[in-house]
Amino acid sequence: MVCTTKAEQGGGGMAGKKRFDVSAALDAAMIQFWRAGYADTSVDDLSRATGLNRSSIYSSLGDKDALFLRCLERYTTRYGDKYDAALSCAADRPLAAVRAFFDITLERIADPGLPDGCLVAQTVMATPVLSAGVAARAREAIGFQHTRLRAALRAGRLPEEAAESFATHLAAVNQSLAVMSRAGTSAERLRAVVDVALDALARTLGASPAL
């Protein structure tokens, strides 16, 4: 159900110069992969989710592996940009920046229109049974998260060593939200997970540099 024009399907085979909305189709496929994972998503599932025909998926979106990679790419750049924006004020207000960082994740989880968890976390967990390219891309995404956080903490005048270990910790805590949300953990508890980490950051942030 991602057609650009108003024409909708009737009885027999319908077509024409419709040129369906590829972007919307990718979003639908991404959400399907996100919810069910690679292994538990059949091409028929993707067909149903996107409203696209089986043939159309292969001709316009590639095979299952290529499509998954495109979805993963889409996911990482979309939320990667949001994470970057959230951390952009790190030099001035590092704690607020990290809080905003986690808010991106918490809001995504709270969004009823999106699956729980995180596509990257899901993909990383399935690493041993995924294609090498996909697995590598997922690992890379985790690495980017670490780099992002580390740069923000450094900008917030956290010493080298503390920035390194805190970036590792915070990236891990962020991934933990994916697991816990899938376990049905309430929004309040997820907030508690984050708040403890933020408290710890606030204390080491208030300790070394003059605020």
Partner DNA sequence: ACCATCTTGAACCAAGCAGTTCAAGATGGT
Partner DNA sequence: ACCATCTTGAACTGCTTGGTTCAAGATGGT
Should residue 17 be labelled a site residue for DNA when binding is judged by CB under 7 A?
Answer: yes
On whether the CB atoms of residues 64 and 53 are closer than 8 A, the answer is: no
| Cα–Cα distance, 145 to 168 (Å, whole number) | 9
Stretch that binds a copy of itself, among 49-57, 85-93, 106-114, 127-135 (CB under 8 A): 127-135
What is residue 93's DSSP assignment? -
Which residues within the stretch 181-200 sit at the binding site for a copy of itself (CB under 8 A)? 182-185, 189, 192-193, 195-197, 199-200
Question: Which of 112, 128, 132, 210 contacts a copy of itself by CB under 8 A?
Answer: 128
188 Cβ neighbours under 8 A, 6+ residues apart? none
Q: Which stretch of DSSP H or E encloses residue 139?
A: helix 132-155
Q: Given the complex with DNA, which of 11 and 113 has the nearer CB atom?
A: 11
How many binding residues for DNA (CB under 7 A)?
31
Instruction: Read off φ and ψ for residue 75, nearest 5 degrees.
Output: -60, -50
Maximum pairwise Cα distance, the chain: 72
Chain residues in the site for a copy of itself (CB under 8 A)? 35-37, 39-40, 115, 117, 121-122, 124-129, 138-139, 142, 164-166, 168-169, 171-173, 175-180, 182-185, 189, 192-193, 195-197, 199-200, 203
